[in-house]
Chain A
Amino acid sequence: DQQVKQNSPSLSVQEGRISILNCDYTNSMFDYFLWYKKYPAEGPTFLISISSIKDKNEDGRFTVFLNKSAKHLSLHIVPSQPGDSAVYFCAALSTSGTYKYIFGTGTRLKVLA
């Protein structure tokens, strides 16, 4: 059973426009949600996180929105830049019991110049 899902394997966006990456989850016990960016043959880089008690967190060009009733979160990148082209993973964490992160399968973003 996949608790964290990224249903879009890929996304192409024009430079300067908004990129919206989506993530759905099934476990209402998750306390935090995180987004990572990954280039080939490198470790994922942490981008932004959000606590389950909030519905929005913003850091520069990156904003994460959380809709708990829909069990859905999204990452907005505005404006998109060619350097943003990478695979983006969402992850969820429950801090009660195990400290185990559950990752989605990733979305490959391509920003077209």
Chain B
Amino acid sequence: SQTIHQWPATLVQPVGSPLSLECTVEGTSNPNLYWYRQAAGRGLQLLFYSVGIGQISSEVPQNLSASRPQDRQFILSSKKLLLSDSGFYLCAWSPGSGRHQETQYFGPGTRLLVL
């Protein structure tokens, strides 16, 4: 069966510090991968998505970036965090093809607090 991992679960970082959040998926190959952010009391905002290694689409211009160095690894980064980067970050994957291609599965999330 497929599993999605995200870490860390919680992170407190000072303004201006760098960020690296990691997400890995097990039990599938060539998944579509996604990063979302949920600000307090808000909906899910799509940040980045990737349909293959090295293929990253950015949805919102900001100081965040994403990379996909391996098929099942998706990394969210920032060189300098802003206060407004605080939120709940979610990684997700979908098969993209085959049976139940439409179903998207989420990781447990990372709560980021920028002070």
A residues adjacent to B (C-beta < 8 A): 31-32, 34, 36, 41-46, 49, 51, 89, 91, 93, 95, 98-106
B74 contacts chain A at the CB level, 8 A cutoff: no
**Chain B residues with a Cβ closer than 8 Å to the other chain, count:** 26
Q: What are 5 A-B interface contacts by the 8 Å CB criterion?
A: A43-B108, A44-B90, A44-B106, A46-B105, A49-B102
CB neighbours (8 Å) of B59 from chain A are 100
**Interface status of B44 (Cβ within 8 A of chain A):** yes
- Of residues 16 through 35 on chain B, the ones whose CB sits less than 8 Å from some CB of chain A are 32, 34
User: Measured between alpha carbons, how far is A98 from B48 in the docked complex, in Å?
Assistant: 12
User: B106–A99 contact, CB under 8 A?
Assistant: no
When C-beta atoms are compared, the residue in chain A nearest to B57 turns out to be: A98
Residue among B51, B57, B104, B109 making CB contact with A101, cutoff 8 Å: B104
Pair A99/B32 contact, Cβ less than 8 Å: yes
Interface residues of B (CB under 8 A from A): 6, 32, 34, 42-44, 46, 49, 51, 57, 59, 88, 90, 92, 94, 96, 101-109, 111
Q: Which residue in A34, A49, A105 is a CB contact (below 8 Å) of B43?
A: A105
Residues in A neighbouring B109, C-beta threshold 8 A: 41-43
Pick from B34, B43, B102, B106: contact of A45, CB under 8 Å: B106
- A103 surroundings in chain B (CB, below 8 A): 43-44, 46
What's the nearest-Cβ distance from chain A to residue B8, in Å? 13
- Whether B43 and A43, one on each chain, are in contact in the complex, defined by CB atoms closer than 8 angstroms, is no
- Supposing A32-B102, A44-B90, A95-B101 touch, asked if A100 and B46 sit within 8 A by C-beta, the answer is yes
Alpha-carbon distance between A104 and B45 when the two chains are bound, in angstroms: 10
Across the interface, A100 reaches (CB within 8 A) one of B43, B49, B107, namely B49
Are A104 and B57 closer than 8 Å at their CB atoms?
Answer: no
Cβ of B61 to closest chain A Cβ, rounded Å:
16
Roughly how many angstroms separate A28 CA and B94 CA in the complex, as a whole number?
A: 22
Once bound together, how far apart are the Cα atoms of A100 and B92, in whole Å? 12
Q: Are A99 and B90 in touch, CB under 8 angstroms?
A: no
Partner of B49, one of A44, A95, A99, A106: A99
For the complex formed, measure the closest distance between the CB of A93 and the CB atoms of chain B, giving whole angstroms: 5
